[in-house]
Structure 1
Amino acid sequence: MEVTGKVKTVLEQQTFGSGFTKREVVVTTDEQYPQHLLIEFVQDKVALLSDLSVDDKVKISINLRGREWQAPDGTIKYFNSIQGWRLEKLGDSPSGIQDTPPPYEQFGGKDLAPPNEEMDDLPF
């Protein structure tokens, strides 16, 4: 899976007694209802965040992780996390590559399909 958005904050690296290290980044998605996602990078993947700055546009490859935990009173709880494993900084499309397809109007009118798409008159 992938997440794209703008870096809101990069948190400090944490190292735990067992030698386990992690660092987290908050990414704000670019959609109608933006989401603020906390994505963690662990062990050797922590280095991927070293050149990251607030407001950088990024695409992050992620895995969803889930754990079950039993409390001392016997209650079962579940925890989820988002773990990043690849990070790509996105530019402001200097080569003209667009994130979304151009509107149909650019192809001559609202009733025309973009090139290389067949017209389909089926109602479904």
Structure 2
Amino acid sequence: MDIIGRVKKIFPIQTFESGFKKRELVLTTDEPYSQDILIEFIQEKTNLLDTIKPKDRIKVFINIRGREWINPKGVVKYFNSIQGWKIDNLLSDNKNNSTISSSSSLSSDDFDDLPF
């Protein structure tokens, strides 16, 4: 699945005591009723945001993740997250409508170290 839009905000890398790290960006979608979508990049995928700047038009390839959490009172809650794993930086070039890719491929093995 992918989302196309303009980068609204890029957050700094967050590193946790466990060694887990993530970095988030907000993408404003290209549609009549645009949406601001928070997308997280985890572990080595945080590097994909190093060359991206606010206002860049990009295509982000994503996975939608979900998990269950039980709070201390025993109430079950569910959370969703959108994880990016590849970015194509879309440039408006009237000559050939080229796409510059800053991507990295993932296999199903890359998700074995996820904390949930």
- The residue correspondences of 1:1-124 to structure 2 (distance < 5 A) are 1-97=1-97
Report the TM-score, using the length of structure 1 for normalisation. Answer: 0.76
| Alpha-carbon separation, structure 1, partners of 2:69 and 2:43 | 23
Higher strand share: 2
1-side partners of 2:6 and 2:30: how far apart? 8
What is the RMSD of the two structures over their aligned residues, measured on CA atoms?
A: 1.3
Amino acid at match of 2:61: S
Any idea what SS the aligned residue of 2:52 has?
A: coil
| 1:10, distance to aligned residue in structure 2 (A) | 0.3
Divergent runs of 4+, >4 A: none
TM-score, structure 2 as length reference: 0.81
Show structure 2 runs of 5+ residues with no match: 98-116
Deviation at 1:60, TM superposition (A): 0.4
In structure 2, the partner of 1:110 is none
Instruction: Give the % identical residues.
Output: 51
Gaps of 5+ in 1: 98-124
